[in-house]
Structure 1
Amino acid sequence: MSTSIYVGNLPFTATAEAIQELFSTFGAVENVNLIKDRETGRLRGFGFVEMASGANEAIAALNDKDLDGRNLKVNRAKPREERRPSRW
């Protein structure tokens, strides 16, 4: 079973390939999803990494690690909350 990891405070220059390479030193990375702004297409500064193995080691080693001048916030992702329907 894979583990979903939240990665916050990413530099806006980060790429999915760079994040995958960073996390792959700790185990098997299944997926990297960097969240982008819908209108501008610019990275919003956070994303999610799915790991088949090594998730706990990656979280411990990479939390508060400097990446391009920004300290990463890395922890286990929380389940997505239900969205309220739009009023309009």
Structure 2
Amino acid sequence: MDAKDYPEIIFSDHTQSVVIDGHHLDVEIYRTSIDPGWILSVENQFGTLTVSDNPPFFGDVLAWRAFEELVREEGITAFYNKKERRKLGI
């Protein structure tokens, strides 16, 4: 399979690293060149990914708003599993 056979990954301008209450998160919002739906992926400091892609977002701004809403409603713990939360004491 040639590189030309793979779809291009298009990253949103909203893709960024953020620090919330001292916790570093890498927020990626992206889609492929063959699918118009946007995917939200958040990686915590342990490398654990939280992915929201079902259904995909209709726009990158909607994906960013979903990230903000998750932080508002569930707090930083939304991006850590139980073991990680115990390690961090949260």
TM-score by length of 2: 0.30
Please tell me whether Structure 1 or Structure 2 has the larger radius of gyration of its CA atoms: 2
Q: Which one has a larger percent helix, Structure 1 or Structure 2?
A: 2
Higher relative contact order structure (alpha carbons within 8 Å, sequence separation ≥ 6): 1
Q: Which one has a larger percent strand, Structure 1 or Structure 2?
A: 2
TM-score by length of 1: 0.30
